[in-house]
Amino acid sequence: MARVDFAGVAFAVLALLTLGSAAIVAFARNVMHSAVALLGTLCGVAGLYVLLSADFLAAAQVLVYVGGTLILFLFAAMLTARIEHAETSNEPLATGRKAAAFVTILLAFALVTIALDTIWPLEEKTVALPSTAKLGHALLGAYVLPFELASLVLLMAMVGALVIARRAVKAGPTE
Amino acid sequence: MKPTLDHYLVVSAILFALGLFTVITRKNAVGILLGVELILNAAALDFVAFDHFVAESRGPAGQVFVLFIIAFAASEAAVALAIVLQVYRSHRSIAVDDLTQLRN
Amino acid sequence: MPDFHGPIQHVTLAGSLWLIVIFPLAAALVCAWAALARGRSREKMRDAVAVLSMGAMGLAFATSAYHAWALSTLPDDERFLLQHVWRMVRLGQLDASFDLALDTLSSTMTLVVTGIGLPIFVFAATSMRDGTTPASYARFFAWLNAFVFAMLVLVLADNFVLLFFGWEGVGLCSWGLIGFVWTDAAKATAGRKVFVVNRIGDAGFVLGVALFYWGFGGAWADGDYVPDLNARFSSVEVRASSGDADGDEAPAAKPAPTAPADRDDEDEDRAAPIPPSNGDGFLTLTSYPGAAVFMDDARAPMKIAGGDLVRAPFVRMPIKGGFHSFRIHPGSGLDDFLVTHVAFGGGREIALVAFGPTVTFREARDQLAARDAHGHMTFRDALLAKRGFGAVGLVTIASLLLFIGAAGKSAQFPLHVWLPDALAGPTPVSALIHAATMVTAGVYLIARLGFFFALSPAAGTAIAIVGVSTALFAAIAGLYQYDLKRVLAYSTISQLGLMVLAVGVGGYATGVFHLVTHACFKACLFLSAGALIHALHQSRAEGASHDEKHAQDVRRMGGLGRVLPRTARAYAVGCLAMTAAPIPGLAGFWSKDDILVRVFTARNIVIPGAILGGVALVVAAMTSFYMWRTYYLAFDGEPRTPLRGVQPPEGGIPHALAVLAGLSVIVGVLLGASTKLIGRGGDSLLEEWLAPSLRGAEAPFASGGALVEWAVIATTYACAAGGWLLARSRYAGRKAGDEWQARERRSPLFAASTHGFWIDAIYTHTFVALTLRVRDFAAEFDRYVIDSVVNATGVLTRAFAWVVGRVDDDVVDGAVRALSKGTLRAGERIRAAQTGRVQSYVYVIVLGILALAFLQYWLR
């Protein structure tokens, strides 16, 4: 009896989930459907992170991306959903979908070929260690500067988003 | 079959392609941003895959990078969507076809 | 051995001839400057100018006299002073240098010009004070001095070219002097007329010179000119012009025909054979002034003992006996001449003479006098044999053409029309030009070229006929003139006709004699007439209207002898001199008598001399008549206008008149009668004096002896006295009432006389009208044809410019515009890529990435 390659199956399932959801994101007519399908993509990617022994990242992905960014998207989609042709979101551009598909496939082809052809300096990782501690050490060690700066950027983004999304205030003594 | 680096790279490539397709063909601004998310995720997946399979010389560089990607993607989404909201308020439309004031 | 022998004119180099001409030239320049300079309205300048001019003239006279004396100290056949001033023209074989040559004829002429000119200058200095500003006074004297300078150049010229300079110069200055008051249109026209008529003569002159020049060098055969001389120089043994018969000369010594000439110029004695009569010889070279001579293949030119280079012209340079060859190097781009095998010895003089075309008088004369070994005058015969226009001799044609030039200057028919009109000039001008200088230039030319004119009896006859006809015609025209000066003018023409008659029959010295005497008494007459008119002007200046014509009109004169005694006396002396009656023995008596003798005894003419002589006698009678008519009408009888206020002339005028009158008395005697009295030869003094200059011009005359002479004298005197008596009977004393005018008018010749035979009218209606028609045609042609060509060119240019402009606008600018439009359109098309949509930008980015990937990955 063949031993079931758990990793392979898991990979296949997760890959399928990811790519399938991505396809829905790409081809769905309704932007709400796209937004929801993104959830699948994000989760699939999280799963793949686990397979790649990036457990903290998987958790962060789910927490931040799904829990934050996706919700944000859903809000935005809903808030801007009262447009007539919001659902028809695959209008052709100047050169049309076919050209876009062609270019995209070409790009995918290029990437795949490059990836497969390149001889990566592989090293077998034997044990899937919990990565949290390693990450923590890295963040406060070698990468402390980006870490701090990232907090700054997040602050800026927050303030910026607030400022941008504010309703236009009429100049006046009232309020 | 044990997934090797190549597999992950292929997956991320296809994910990237799909995200690109979304960016190119979507008319809805939010939809375009969804595509951007896909692209970001594909890149992040690449990073993690490399971190796992390729010899690391500087610690968990890939994973750190992905952490930052996640953070910045979130902030970028916030700002972008704030802009979209504002555009929607002023133009009553977020179809990029209509937002061509940069033309010519 | 010398190829020829004959007389050669020896020249003596003199360095001082230029002094004769320089004084008037300097004075002219100073006066011209004074006329233009800043203080020219100051009266003091007048005195300066007058003194300067008179002084210059005096100096010129003194220098001429000195040189004449210098000539007289030279032996007879060497009286020729030459000064080479400037190498002027050397073209091919033509060598015309600025050479001043003084031989006896030129010396006579310079004495006449300066000697008569001096009293005239004195007269002019006083008479020109009225009516001129100081500046124009200076201008007058500038012209006057320039005139004298030109005349002196004319008589001192050694060749045709320089003579022509003087010739033209006197023409120009006569224009300036006669048209001096150029604000008066009539006077200015008179000046122009002089110049134009002279020009016509000059055309003939130039043609004559050209024929002369060519004639010496070739001949025409079948319409082609064939030069007939290759060698330029030949050797001529110099001998006095002894016998002239052919073939009777002792042959030149034939040297032993051995041993070529010495090769080097060392004066060693050699054993080479030398001519039998040993000793040295002499070399003479008078052509190409400034030329150097190389003897016998020497490298260096010949030097005289002191070390100076030998330069032509030189006379009698000692040469060692034997055969020599010479190379003459004229320099200035001309080829050298080679003369070989010249034998020297026996004290003989060998001259290297240039044969062929020449414009120098003495060279021509030497050529024509050369005889070859057999005694034939080869060149003269060759020249006489040349024919043009079929059978007419070249010499005849050339002589006639040159005579046309002389006729222009000496106012012969039909070119005499300028002389009466030339009275428009001031009186001193008339005196100088009519009496002494310009009109004598023609006679001088013929005398100078006597050796040439004597070769052609036909031409001589034609000249004589023209001369005597002119004399007769002018005498008739002068019979009944009312204008005093016009009478004198016609009398001048008449006397010139007599001079021309004299040189036409071959009496060249006679013509010059009459020239000299005529200068004296005509100047005297003109100046007395001028003094008379001047006095009348002065008297009228206070009172009535001042009309020149009236002052000169004899009808308004009369009895002036009472108030102007000295003037009357001078005038009378002049008349006596001119007409030789009633008192013979004054100047004109001798010269006119001489002319008539020559005419009657001439043998060098084609028609009998008696015809010409008869006409000349008639002329003498008429001359006497009209001259005394003017005298009696002016100075005698009752005054026809009041004599109140007529003052005798002052200042230098009486002195000038006295001098001229005195000259008129003595000069004829002096020059004409002396040698007969001192028992030499029987020729007059002047003739002996002029003989060296007129060598070669000996024309044959029948010798009738003293009988013929006295017969002619008696006849002439009879005619002249008859004329005087007639005049006295009609005009003298109280008989000059008013009916004389009526009687004159009844005379058959009256109309022709007073109108000058209507020659002027004929000319006006023919030549002048023709010329004016040509002028009109030319003006029309210029306006319509030439101007329209010019305008058409303008139109074409504008059209072309328009085309160019359009091309520039459309093609060139169009290209520029197309370029800009193209750029804009391309820009518009490319701008379409700026869709403003981010997605398209993304597209492009992707494509770029793909491209990079392609390049990077697959093309490596």
Find chain A residues with C-beta within 8 A of B9's C-beta. Answer: 111-112, 115-116
**C258 and chain A: CB distance < 8 Å anywhere?**
no
Which among A36-40, C227-231, C531-535, C658-662 has the top mean pLDDT?
A36-40
- On whether the CB atoms of residues C613 and C504 are closer than 8 A, the answer is no
In this structure, is residue A104 part of a structural domain? no
Look at residue A171 and tell me if it is in a domain. yes
ipTM of the complex: 0.88
Q: Is residue A103 part of a domain?
A: no
Supply the DSSP string of C396-428, one letter for each residue.
HHHHHHHHHHHHHHTT-TTS-THHHHGGGS-HH
Examine the pLDDT at C249 and tell me if it is beyond 50.
Answer: no
Q: Does C847 touch chain A (CB under 8 A)?
A: yes
Q: What contacts C180, CB < 8 A, 6 or more positions away?
A: C136, C139, C140, C143, C187, C191, C425, C426, C429
C836/B97 CB distance under 8 A: no
Statement to judge: residues A81 and A147 lie in one domain: no
Find the CB nearest A120 among B33, B41, B53.
B53
**CB of C44 less than 8 A from some CB of B:** no
- Place B9 in a pLDDT band, splitting at 50, 70 and 90: very high
Q: Who contacts B32 (Cβ-Cβ below 8 Å, separation ≥6)?
A: B22, B23, B26, B96, C838, C839
Collect all residues with Cβ–Cβ distance below 8 Å to C530 and sequence separation of at least 6.
C123, C127, C427, C428, C430, C431
- Do A114 and C849 count as a contact with CB atoms less than 8 A apart? no
Which residue ranges form the domains of chain B, and what is each CATH number? Answer: 5-91 (1.10.287.3510)
| Residues C229-238, mean pLDDT to the nearest whole number | 70
A132–B contact, CB cutoff 8 A = no
Beta strand pairing call for C281-285 and C224-227: unpaired
CB pair distance less than 8 Å for A108 and B16: yes
The domain boundary residue, chosen from A41, A74, A91: A91
Average pLDDT over residues C20-36: 90
pLDDT reading at C94 higher than 80? no
Kindly list the residues from chain A whose CB atom is less than 8 angstroms away from the CB atom of residue B37: 38, 65, 69, 73
Q: Among residues C112, C204, C689, C141, which one has the least CA distance to residue C438? A: C112
Q: For A57-74, how does the pLDDT look when each residue is reduced to its tens digit (9 = 90+)?
A: 999 999 999 999 999 998
For testing contact with chain B, the best of A29, A32, A41 (most B CBs within 10 A) = A41
For C499-534, letters b (16+ CB in 10 Å) and e give bbbbbbbbbbbbbbbbbbbbbbbbbbbbbbbbbbbb
Model pLDDT, residue C278: 57
Residue contact C840–A94, C-beta within 8 A = yes
Which residue out of B18, B22, B24 would a mutagenesis test of the C interface target, given it has the greatest number of C Cβ atoms within 10 Å? B24
| Model confidence at C824: pLDDT above 60 | yes
Amino acid identity at C258: T
Instruction: Flag whether pLDDT at C638 surpasses 60.
Output: yes
Say yes or no to pLDDT of A90 above 70: no
**C843 contacts A95? CB cut-off 8 A:** yes
Considering the domain boundaries, does residue A21 fall inside one?
A: yes
Would residue C511 be called left, alpha or beta, if left means φ above 0 and alpha means ψ between -120 and 50 degrees? alpha
- In eight-state DSSP terms, residue C13 is E
Q: Which of B78-82, C342-346, C553-557, C774-778 has the weakest average pLDDT?
A: C553-557
Q: Are residues A1 and A87 in the same domain?
A: yes
Size of interface B-C (CB pairs under 8 A): 32
- Residue C12 to residue B54: CA distance in whole angstroms: 133
Q: Is the pLDDT of residue B70 over 90?
A: yes
What's residue C549's pLDDT? 58
As a whole number, the mean pLDDT across chain C is: 80
pLDDT in tens, C584-622: 777 777 888 888 888 888 777 777 778 888 899 999 999
- Which of the listed ranges A167-171, B83-87, C733-737 does the model predict with the highest average pLDDT? B83-87
The distance of A1 to chain B (nearest Cα, Å) reads 15
pLDDT digits (tens, 9 = 90+) for C276-317: 455 678 888 888 877 888 888 777 777 776 677 777 777 778
- Domain final residue pick, A61, A91, A121: A91
- The residue among C838, C840, C845 with the most chain B CBs within 10 A of its CB, best to mutate, is C838
* Residue C843 with chain B: CB contacts under 8 Å: 24
Q: Using CA coordinates, name the residue in chain B closest to C830.
A: B104
Q: Are residues A85 and A2 in the same domain?
A: yes
Domain carrying residue A69 = 1-91
What is the domain count for chain A? 2
Does the beta-carbon distance from A131 to B84 stay under 8 Å? Answer: no
Residue C672 — very low, low, confident or very high, per pLDDT cuts 50/70/90? Answer: low
Q: b/e string for C361-386 if b means 16 or more Cβ within 10 A?
A: bbbbbbbbbbbbbebebbbbebbbeb
User: Does B96 contact C831 at a Cβ distance shorter than 8 Å?
Assistant: no
Instruction: Say yes or no to pLDDT of C835 above 70.
Output: no
Residues C230 and C489: their CA atoms lie apart, in Å, by 51
Task: Identify all chain C residues contacting B96, using CB atoms and an 8 Å cutoff.
Answer: 837-839
What pLDDT, on a 0 to 100 scale, did the predictor assign at position C61?
94
CB-nearest to A110 from C839, C840, C850 is C850
Question: Which amino acid would we find at residue C847?
Answer: L
Beta-bridge partners for C328: C293, C337
Between chains, do B66 and A54 touch, taking CB under 8 Å as contact? Answer: yes
Beta pairing, strands C4-6 & C233-238: parallel
Bigger pLDDT: C710 or C624? C624
Domain containing residue A48: CATH number: 1.20.120.1200
Higher pLDDT, C767 or C142: C142
Span B1-25, average pLDDT: 89
Does residue C243 carry a pLDDT above 60? no
- Judging by beta carbons within 10 Å of its beta carbon (0-12, 13-18, 19+), is residue C407 exposed, middle or buried? buried
In a domain, A101, yes or no: no
Which pLDDT band holds residue C456 (cuts at 50, 70, 90)?
Answer: confident
On the question of pLDDT at C266 being above 50, the answer is no
pLDDT score at C255: 33
- Identify the bridge partners of residue C327 per DSSP, sorted by sequence position: C294, C338
Q: Express as a percent the part of chain A with pLDDT over 70.
A: 82
Residue A8 forms part of a structural domain: yes
CB atoms within 10 A of CB C76: 13
Select the residue of C834, C839, C843 nearest B103 (Cβ to Cβ): C834
Give the whole-angstrom CA distance, residue C826 versus residue A36: 46
Could you give the 3-state DSSP secondary structure of residue C220? strand
| Residue C538 burial by Cβ neighbours in a 10 Å radius (0-12, 13-18, 19+) | middle
| Residues A4, A52 within the same domain | yes
Chains in contact with chain B (at least 3 beta-carbon pairs closer than 8 A): A, C
Identify from C824, C828, C829, C839 which residue to disrupt to test chain B contact, counting B C-beta atoms within 10 A and taking the largest count: C839
Model pLDDT for residues B17-69, shown as the tens digit of each residue: 999 999 888 888 888 899 999 999 999 999 999 888 886 666 788 889 999 99
- Please choose, from the candidates C275, C311, C349, the residue with its C-alpha nearest in 3D space to the C-alpha of residue C6: C349
Domain boundary, last residue among A44, A73, A91 = A91
Supply the DSSP symbol for C555.
G
> Residue C256 pLDDT > 60, yes or no?
no
The mean pLDDT value for C12-33 works out to: 89
Decide if A148 is inside a domain: yes
The confidence band for A125, taking pLDDT boundaries of 50, 70 and 90, is low
Task: Give me the percent of chain C exceeding a pLDDT of 90.
Answer: 15
Among chain A residues, CA nearest to B2: A8
Domain identity same for A33 and A85: yes
CB contact under 8 A, B102 and C836: yes
For chain C, what percent of residues have pLDDT higher than 70?
86
Torsion of CA B50, B55, B57, B63, to 10 degrees: 30
Residues A80 and A139 both lie in one domain: no
Scanning A49-78 for CB atoms below 8 A from B yields 49, 51-54, 56-57, 60-61, 64-65, 68-69, 72-73, 75-77
Do C834 and B104 count as a contact with CB atoms less than 8 A apart?
Answer: yes
Instruction: Name the residue of chain A whose CA is nearest to C856's CA.
Output: A114
Contact B53 A15 (CB under 8 A): no
pLDDT at C332: 72
C844 Cβ under 8 Å from any chain A Cβ:
no
Asked if residue A83 belongs to a domain, the reply is yes
Contact C839 A110 (CB under 8 A): no
C836 and B104 in contact (C-beta within 8 Å)?
A: yes
Q: Which amino acid is at C346?
A: G
Flag whether residue A17 sits within 8 Å of chain B, measured between CB atoms: no
* Residues of chain B with a CB closer than 8 angstroms to some CB in chain C: 20, 23-26, 32, 96-97, 99-104
- C555, with CB counted inside 10 A (0-12, 13-18, 19+), is middle
Same domain, yes or no: A65 and A148? no
